[in-house]
Structure 1
Amino acid sequence: MTWLLVALGAAVGAPLRYLTDRAVQARSDSLFPFGTFVVNAAGSLVLGAVAGASVSSGTYALLGTGLCGALTTYSTFSYETLRLTERGRGFLAAANVAASVLVGLGSVFLGAELARAWAH
């Protein structure tokens, strides 16, 4: 039954990632992949909140594994970084890596702390 919760979460996360990415990129004329950056930061924040809230295993499967797993995208982040490098945009590629890691980690920690504070 857990697999069904994962699938349901993913069924929401994947289209949410696509729609958010497109909406964010449509507002930017930069080569920087802001759409992927935003969904990865948001997904990290949500995952941190889910983990920090100490939810049931079913809720974690639905939101953590399913929703956040489909919302965030390491493969697209990697590909977009490669594309920036191939286009001679090494600074943007390095900025994407550094900012994505720092903001992702910061977001997951922030989400966990917010959930813990909310619980008390």
Structure 2
Amino acid sequence: MTGPILAAALVGVGGSIGAVARHAVGLRIEGRRSVVAVNALGSLALGAVLAAPIGSPATLLVAVGACGAFTTFSSFAVETVSTATRRPGATGKGPSGTYRLP
């Protein structure tokens, strides 16, 4: 079990790594291709982390922190699938609506 302070620290460290990685991709790949690249890589990494039998601290560090800062699309995809899994017949309008707010 991870305490709230350690959990916040793990997410923060992972987030800083993800943000720097996203910036690095943006420097190397210009335009829309960088967005496609980070969305594809972030979704792949998030799927791999969530499929692996790792503990909560590693999930907070990599999935929530690093992947969350690297790309928001991967978090959106997991949230939509999670909603559909928990509530069969759900349309995913809830998660998509939160990402369309100004």
Q: Same fold (TM over 0.5)?
A: yes
- Determine which of 13, 20, 24 is the counterpart of 1:15: 20
Select the structure with the greater relative contact order (CA < 8 A; seq sep ≥ 6). Answer: 1
Is residue 24–residue 34 contact of structure 1 (8 Å, CA) maintained in 2? yes
Tell me if 1:5 matches 2:4: no
**1:67-95 CA distance string (max 9 Å, x none):** 00000045xxxxxxxxxxxxxxxxxxxxx
Conserved in 2, the CA contact under 8 Å of 1:50 and 1:60?
yes
Q: Which stretches in structure 1 are left out of the alignment for 5+ residues? A: 26-31, 75-103, 106-120
Equivalence for 2:99: none
Q: Is the 8 A contact 1:9 1:67 kept in 2?
A: yes
CA RMSD for the aligned pairs? 2.1
Q: Which runs of 5+ in 2 are unaligned?
A: 1-5, 79-102
8 Å contact kept, 1:21–1:38: no
Percent sequence identity over aligned pairs: 36
Which has the greater radius of gyration?
1
The C-alpha deviation readout for 1:32-59, integer Å capped at 9, x for no partner, is: 6000110111010000000010210100
What is the TM-score when the length of structure 1 is the normalising length?
A: 0.54
Matched to 1:8, the amino acid is V
User: Distance in 1 between the 2:62 and 2:28 partners?
Assistant: 22
Higher helix share: 1
1:44 aligns with 2:49: no
1:42 & 1:22 partners in 2: Cα distance?
16
